[in-house]
Amino acid sequence: MVKLAIITSFLGKTKDRFHEYNQAKTLEEKFRMLGGIQGASGVEVVYPYEVDAPEVTKTLAEKYNLSFAAINVNVKAEPEFLNGGLSSPDKAVRDKAVRFIKEAKDFAEKCGADKVTCCPLGDGYEFSFQSDYAAAWRRLAETFGEAAEYKKNIPLFIEYKPSETRGSCFIDSAARTLLLIKDIGVRELGVTIDFGHAMYGGYNPAEEVCLAAESGQPYYIHINDNDAKWDWDYFCGTKHFLEYAEFLYYLKKYGYKDYLTSDTSPTRWDIKGTFEANNRITIKLWKLLDDLDGKGFSKLAGGKDYLATWKFIEENLFRLK
């Protein structure tokens, strides 16, 4: 059975450039809400800004019968990280960013989480001749390498994104993330694949799964959707239903057993209803894909006759008969 989790920061107040959405909640209020969302059993919390002491956080998870999917460490919000943390030319800034990740690993270990994920959104550039790309790459390998070597029993996963908060992020795709990991050489260092980040970056999310799985490095999944122009964090299947089905198909094919974590932002929509929509469509597709393989779909997918594949999709996935 598929395991589903939610990033708790989306259960309270969120905002964009113009509006604020929903009401602020305490960590316990978020956990209580999550515990009542049908289909969800896991939680990803943001360190250090969202959490209490690890003992308190662990107790809350136990109280609401939740498991930790991951600890998400924020290395972009501090003033020092304005122009990048992990790739900063200033060693003191890099050291602080690495310390945040190490502390997140300590936190994860104490509250019972098995991984830390980090999206280095502040590390990038906007303009030509603004950045020394090679030097920035070396610094990323140095900082992520140091963080990955620390407490390998709590693996670090790097989440890529094409842009935001920078015009262009240095780590913008699964391929570039895996290249960095290869340069670092730590077996326990993994990739966080966000469906929407791949989509609006111009990449096929299913292909990104294949790339990560074939590399032999660990990988972890965030689910959502968007219009392939920006990272809107819509709920799953609303813009790219068939691509999402293919994404799940390849996760099943490679035997993915970890959490699918909703990185979805309920703005104008009911919070509980939004995440239940994510869970509902994901569970239904997961089960349906089992049925499709039972009807011989695996022999058609990737085969020579795509018209036969498409007819099968029409009749068995879309149920158009």
pLDDT digits (tens, 9 = 90+) for 229-250: 999 999 999 999 999 999 999 9
Residue 115 has what pLDDT? 98
DSSP string, 142-160: HHHHHHHHTTTTS-EEEEP
Residue 1 has what pLDDT? 84
Share of the chain above pLDDT 70, in %: 100
Whether residue 143 is preceded by a cis peptide bond, meaning omega within 30 degrees of 0, is: no
Residue 144 has what pLDDT? 98
Residue 27 has what pLDDT? 96
Instruction: State the average pLDDT for the chain.
Output: 97
CA angle 56, 60, 61 (to 5 degrees): 120
pLDDT digits (tens, 9 = 90+) for 40-77: 999 999 999 999 899 999 999 999 999 999 999 999 99
45: three-class secondary structure by DSSP: strand
Find the mean pLDDT for residues 73-86: 95
Residue 139 has what pLDDT? 98
pLDDT digits (tens, 9 = 90+) for 123-162: 999 999 999 999 999 999 999 999 999 999 999 999 999 9
Q: Could you give the domains of the chain?
A: 3-295 (3.20.20.150)
d(CA 210, CA 113): 26
